[in-house]
Structure 1
């Protein structure tokens, strides 16, 4: 008998939903739809529309399970999204939409799970290192926010440990970064890593650099809006805009140091995986060397850091793949 399951990647910018059918040893996708998250008052509206589009609310193809990767912390299977005014409750969703098993997972927990579904072609390697089988891994990524998840080996597979590591304090390592921290402390009560390593964070860096007219005399740019990361990367790559170029260089330098801190904290000899929407768009800059220099620059542990594999995830659907794998695992608990 065929089983249908729904899974999704839910973020502050977009929501991507997919349904698949599992029949014996064969699993195939049935339907997929992308939504603008900001255009909906809550997730229930999106799920209702998705079920209507797939016809699942009109036929006997009722979903057996559902798993959703969410940009925010999960507490008792309830989640308040970090960058959206949505409150999601797994039990309420299961009741309203008659789905026997619904599970909410952190978006970077979903990314972490999805790594095992990636091929070599889905990765761009910054440092091959020497991978230690079954050792700790860490996944991090800048997008609308900064997500972080650990992966530890348990039994016969890696188990994800979701975190809110993007909200720890920013630790500057150069005089320019200290000036950046001082600038941001005047704007925010708490200067987290996410205030810098995200789309809005790249905008903060750009506005900081142009705030001092002596840095780039004769160049005048109006202060950019909160999340103008895409505009800045376009200015840097296509127009060779000096402020945008330096903003991107500073962003990458801080990104590398932060990734190195996480790798050192978890002794992640199993590998570091850079996810999120920004990294693939700036892969050429990440490859130039400043990211890895900052990553490895850990004093007495520099040698060890040079042995840790570092990869950039180029597949934008890795979180969706992870949520799908978890939804598929739920089926065995529902039948």
Structure 2
């Protein structure tokens, strides 16, 4: 029995688990799950060793790590952390037989075909084309995006840095927010708007546009006050955030031809899902002019299983590692 160490490494936390490589029929469920604060470790190797120690197991020979950040030519730079490393050197340092690193939203995308009933919830219901590409995206510490394309042998992940595409305002208020944010960022990206810090930036920009003082609030503060109707400015910020999210989801659906559906993940959407029907999320998702009919045929679902990236990491390694396919 081959055991795979899987991890979902973000700017805030790293979630680890162990998966039996033969458990694909059971959805690659991870056991021995432990979450560790990323900032407490100087290197990823230190973090992995601490997980193995806390789990009370020997270092596995196989691992797949889902990481927030770009991966180029075997070199990884972790977004929002001062971690850079070579995949091959990390594998050798940990004395593993096989270690791979994939983008966190690539892992989430690869998990989609393996998700069980109850792992997702519908946000916009229509029939998906089972033979078409699937788009996965969502806000958290940053904004991740990946595409899952059907091929003859299964699925192929197309990782992207779609969160760094330019933000395109739709309303006069959003134009004003963009102008405020350009004072701080020469290039205002989707991630500058659709992330935890992006929600705070929207709140502060709205305050500046209205000529009022903004409080020093965390993303959770803005979200909680807005959703519970405790403060009008926070609620407008959350409403704006959700509307922009709808626009971006529709843009990705169009540009990717994601007739297999759009899946929203990340740390923020599940926390505001019950509030989305009170916003312009769906209105803006469908507001694509002459291509409205095209987007109307693309369903939107939310990934509710917060361990989905671990499932995707395990599935990816099994599908790409010959030693695990016997």
1:233 aligns with: 223
2:12 aligns with: 13
Q: C-alpha separation between the residues in 2 aligned to 1:21 and 1:333? A: 13
* TM-score between the two structures when normalised by the length of structure 2: 0.93
1:314 maps onto 2:315 in alignment:
no
Judging changes above 3 Å, is the alpha-carbon distance between structure 1 residues 22 and 267 closer, same or farther for their aligned structure 2 residues? closer
Q: C-alpha separation between the residues in 1 aligned to 2:77 and 2:11? A: 11
Q: C-alpha separation between the residues in 2 aligned to 1:36 and 1:106? A: 19
Deviations, residues 99-137 of structure 1 (Å, cap 9, x unaligned): 100001000000001112222312221211221121111
Q: C-alpha separation between the residues in 2 aligned to 1:120 and 1:53? A: 31
Judging changes above 3 Å, is the alpha-carbon distance between structure 1 residues 137 and 207 closer, same or farther for their aligned structure 2 residues? same
SS at match of 1:191: coil
Aligned to 2:259, which of 269, 272, 275?
A: 269
Aligned to 2:66, which of 66, 69, 77?
A: 69
1:48 maps onto 2:49 in alignment:
yes
Structure 2 counterparts to residues 162-173 of structure 1, below 5 A: 162-173=159-170
Q: C-alpha separation between the residues in 1 aligned to 2:195 and 2:121? A: 20
Aligned to 1:253, which of 243, 246, 264?
A: 243
The structural deviation recorded for 1:11 is 0.5
1:207 maps onto 2:193 in alignment:
no
Q: C-alpha separation between the residues in 2 aligned to 1:178 and 1:144? A: 24
Greater shift in the superposed pair: 31-40 or 248-257: 31-40
Q: Indicate conservation of the 8 Å contact 1:19/1:32, yes or no.
A: yes
1:302 maps onto 2:292 in alignment:
yes
Q: C-alpha separation between the residues in 1 aligned to 2:234 and 2:8? A: 30
2:268 aligns with: 278
* TM-score between the two structures when normalised by the length of structure 1: 0.91
The structural deviation recorded for 1:96 is 1.0
Q: C-alpha separation between the residues in 1 aligned to 2:313 and 2:279? A: 33
Q: C-alpha separation between the residues in 2 aligned to 1:154 and 1:191? A: 35
Aligned to 1:332, which of 319, 322, 326?
A: 322
The structural deviation recorded for 1:28 is 7.0
The structural deviation recorded for 1:51 is 2.2
Q: Indicate conservation of the 8 Å contact 2:14/2:35, yes or no.
A: yes
Judging changes above 3 Å, is the alpha-carbon distance between structure 1 residues 259 and 239 closer, same or farther for their aligned structure 2 residues? closer
Aligned length: 323
Q: C-alpha separation between the residues in 2 aligned to 1:289 and 1:233? A: 13
Over aligned residues, Cα RMSD in angstroms? Answer: 2.0
SS at match of 2:187: coil
Q: C-alpha separation between the residues in 2 aligned to 1:158 and 1:288? A: 35
Judging changes above 3 Å, is the alpha-carbon distance between structure 1 residues 290 and 99 closer, same or farther for their aligned structure 2 residues? same
Q: C-alpha separation between the residues in 2 aligned to 1:180 and 1:22? A: 48
SS at match of 2:132: coil
Q: C-alpha separation between the residues in 2 aligned to 1:307 and 1:238? A: 32
Q: C-alpha separation between the residues in 1 aligned to 2:254 and 2:9? A: 30
1:93 maps onto 2:94 in alignment:
no
2:118 aligns with: 121
